[in-house]
Amino acid sequence: MPGVADARGRYATPLDGFGRRSYIAGRLPNLPDLLSAWIVHPQALVPSTTMPSLGVSAAQARDMAAYLDSLQ
Ligand code: HEM
């Protein structure tokens, strides 16, 4: 499986305007609790995703989700 060290150019999707998106990763409703859960452990929600768990706490993930929701 490719990792960060193999990345050449853009690897993940841009997150600009995320507060206006209806879905996370194209399939989960973009709700605050789901977005936080995604940031903590994406593969628990979408096993096939290549986004890694980031090793952040639930509180840190909530702050990141709040920031992403603020992007219009
Ligand atoms: C602070 C760090 C990060 C945050 C807050 C974050 C957040 C997100 C969010 C919200 C999505 C959904 C995007 C969408 O619906 O268009 C996403 C998708 C994705 N992220 Fe991350 N991400 C982070 C770091 C990373 C890292 C380090 C990687 C890889 C090395 C990564 C790889 C991906 C991939 C591949 C997707 C697409 C998932 C899919 O559709 O299966 N992310 N990320």
Q: Could you give phi then psi for residue 45, rounded to 5 degrees?
A: -100, -40
The two three-digit tokens of residue 46, written as one number: 């979408």
> What is the rounded average pLDDT of the residues 47-63?
96
Q: How far away, in angstroms, is 56 Cα from ligand 1 center? A: 13
- DSSP letter at 42 equals H
Q: Round to whole Å and give the CA distance between 12 and 64.
A: 16
- 65 CB less than 6 Å from ligand 1? no
State the distance from the centre of ligand 1 to the C-alpha of 54, rounded, in angstroms. Answer: 10
Measured distance CA(38)–CA(4) in Å, rounded: 19
Domain map (residue ranges) of the chain: 15-70
Report pTM: 0.87
pLDDT tens digits along 1-48: 666 677 677 778 899 999 999 999 999 999 999 999 999 999 999 999
Ligand 1 pocket member 71 (CB < 6 A): no
